[in-house]
Amino acid sequence: MAIDTLLFDVQGTLLDFFTPVHNEVSHYLVSNGIPASTAAEVTRTWRQLYFKHVGDIQNPSQKWTRVQQVYETTFTPALRAHGLPPATAETARDVSRCWTRLVPWPDVSHGLADLRSNATIATLSNTDMSTMVQLFKTLGIDWDAIFTAELFGAFKPEPAVYLGALRFLGARPENTAMVASHAYDLRAARELGLTTVYVHRPLEHGAPEFAENGSNDAFDHYVSEVGDIVELLR
């Protein structure tokens, strides 16, 4: 079956979160008289706590929490994990806005434009709808559709998120590919019959030694740039 629909994870896969978040954490630390040397570790811990929080949610439709709120509530725990004093709720809210100011990897803008000429492309992110809309409006990146977990009241890897996106697009699993740099996301999509495309992002967490290694799973395709997916469609 030919692939005519592509669903994309966003944070880490298309957008570099580490650089802007690390910069904001560094600024916060220095402003509070703390050396910025722990900023990278705090940033990675903050991201890990987000994943843990989302993964711990049971019956997510009954316990929906906006992702931005998750980042706000996990900032102080990320600091404490490295022996640093807590932030006030107001400060945590201000610092957490850095997660709405992510930047695309260099290959993304042109790669997505090429793909959109050959297939239907849509986001499928755990991030809040308002964040996605404003981010891509600011970045000038066009989509055929923007989907986030918020629409379905559940977080990936819940099957309802993937199936809901397919339903909205009128797409079939066998004609759809999930594109992500996270193995858990692709495993869930694979279970539902979607083709899987793993994008290797060696600097997602700031340095190659912290990068995820998707080669441990038998995904359908492995690429290093979004533009490489065009060849898969052909």
Q: Is residue 97 within 8 Å of residue 120, measured between CB atoms?
A: no
* 126 and 90 within one domain: no
pTM score of the predicted model: 0.94
Query: 16: closest CA among 226, 203, 214?
Result: 203
DSSP letter, residue 141: -
**What's the rounded mean pLDDT across residues 144-155?**
94
pLDDT digits (tens, 9 = 90+) for 178-226: 999 999 999 999 999 999 999 999 999 999 999 988 877 889 999 999 9
**Confidence band, pLDDT 50/70/90 cuts, at residue 120:** very high
* 92 and 142 within one domain: no
Q: What is the pLDDT of residue 56?
A: 74
- d(CA 65, CA 59) in angstroms, rounded, equals 12
**In this prediction, what percent of the chain has a pLDDT beyond 90?**
87
* 163 and 191 within one domain: yes
- d(CA 198, CA 191) in angstroms, rounded, equals 15
Asked if the model's pLDDT at residue 59 lies above 70, the reply is no
* 188 and 129 within one domain: yes
**Range(s) of the domain holding residue 112:** 5-16+102-233
* 87 and 184 within one domain: no
Instruction: Say which CATH number the domain at 10 has.
Output: 3.40.50.1000
Q: What is the pLDDT of residue 53?
A: 86
Q: What is the pLDDT of residue 206?
A: 95
Asked if the model's pLDDT at residue 60 lies above 80, the reply is no
* 119 and 26 within one domain: no
Asked if the model's pLDDT at residue 1 lies above 80, the reply is no
Structure tokens at 61: 């439709």
Which of 100, 121, 150 is the last residue before a domain boundary? Answer: 100
* 199 and 93 within one domain: no
pLDDT digits (tens, 9 = 90+) for 10-24: 999 999 999 999 999
State how far the alpha carbon of 18 is from the alpha carbons of 11, 96, 122, 185, 210, in Å.
Answer: 10, 13, 23, 19, 12
Instruction: Say which CATH number the domain at 40 has.
Output: 1.10.150
| Pairing between β-strand 103-104 and β-strand 15-16 as defined by DSSP bridges | antiparallel
Which of 75, 100, 125 is the last residue before a domain boundary? Answer: 100
Which of 81, 100, 119 is the last residue before a domain boundary? Answer: 100
- d(CA 73, CA 71) in angstroms, rounded, equals 6
* 116 and 85 within one domain: no
* 41 and 88 within one domain: yes
- d(CA 156, CA 160) in angstroms, rounded, equals 8
Query: 144: closest CA among 166, 174, 123, 175?
Result: 123
pLDDT digits (tens, 9 = 90+) for 77-114: 999 999 999 999 999 999 999 999 999 999 999 999 99
Q: Report the number of distinct structural domains present in the chain.
A: 2
* Cα torsion 152, 157, 160, 162: sign: positive
**What's the rounded mean pLDDT across residues 111-137?**
96
